[in-house]
Amino acid sequence: MRRLWGGAVVGAVVVVACAKALVPIEDGPDATIDASVLDASACDACPQGQICSSGTCKLSCDLPTVKCTSDAGPICTNIKTDPTHCGACATSCKATADAGSLPPGAGNPVDGGVPFDSGIGWSLGSAMCDAGGCGVVCDPGLTACTDGICYDTQNFHDRCGDCTTACAADTEWCNAGHCCALGTAFCGGMCTDVLTNNANCGGCGVACSANTPNCYNGVCSKTCVPSGTRQAFNTISVNGNTANGCWAGNPCAQGTYVGQPANGRNFKAVNQEVVCGGTTACVKNVGITTYQTSSICQGQFDVYCDATKVGTIDTTGKACIGDSMTNGCKISFAPISCTTLKFIAVKGTGAICCGTGAPDQMLTGVSAW
């Protein structure tokens, strides 16, 4: 265990009495405390002027103990090791360092794609006395730092690996005592991108199999090689969540902008969706067209390949017209085999175009390649 000396000093005194023997507390020549502080029945009442020391009434305390006063009266104790009389009779050690506003968890930022180990966080430990100085004894797995607090330095963001190393505020987290970028974990002696690493997919040592050898977003999936051309996800699948605003056409059927109701779908509520299918293909890019005016019917769309979210397309302030493969309204990701593409309305921006209220987004064309 690591100890922190010079801990908090308070005036509380523990009620104690005589005992028969010295009890070992720590290793070392002074590592004993008179058991009189532990056993109140060791001595009968001593005559006036005497004190119970080592189980016998005496005129003075046996070394290395000294006479102190407690609520129970005079006692003999070793002020080098007694946390209730540490260094001086009136000094009582307590683990009362102020933890301030520290959270009880590991103190890492918001999840960046990899579930964070919450760890133990911190505790105030237990008071102890060594060589006449107050200190803190930490539970296993925690390290005592100079502020009197015991930290889980394997996981705690601002005490990562040791008491003085703080990870970057919003871009790093503490993993196995090392500051790693969000989305990575400390595997095999280095911070590894466990969102894309085939040998450490989603966590250290999680290797993708031959059937699903491609790691994407921390999940093993099938390997594929995109053709680079637009794939025929041309069929719209209508369900209870399908966008049903003023335009109710099929944006899946074309990859270029056509500003007609037959070619577009209007989203009039968050979480409404458009699902495009009709083929199975390897995809690493998805692009869209929306509405011809950048300040009307734009917003954010979460994009899914089957059940896997591959990203979010934000068309705020853009005129996403022309060819959806080249107009800049797209996302790119690791190649993945898809049978459906799903677009979910997340947030509408700009003026409304159908008068139905937020989000009032428009989807008029889709390409996947």
How do the pLDDT tens digits run along the chain, 369 residues long? 333 333 332 332 222 233 333 333 333 333 333 343 433 346 778 888 888 988 889 889 999 999 998 777 889 999 999 998 999 999 988 766 555 555 544 456 655 455 555 567 788 778 889 999 888 888 888 898 888 888 889 988 888 999 999 888 888 888 899 999 888 899 999 999 988 888 999 889 999 998 888 887 788 887 788 889 999 999 999 888 898 888 999 999 999 999 999 999 998 888 999 999 999 999 999 999 999 989 888 999 999 999 999 999 999 999 899 999 999 999 999 888 899 999 999 988 877 777 656 678 899 999 999
How many angstroms separate the CA atoms of 109 and 318, rounded?
31
pTM score: 0.46
Reported CATH class of domain 235-368: mainly beta
What residue ranges do the domains of the chain occupy? 185-221, 235-368
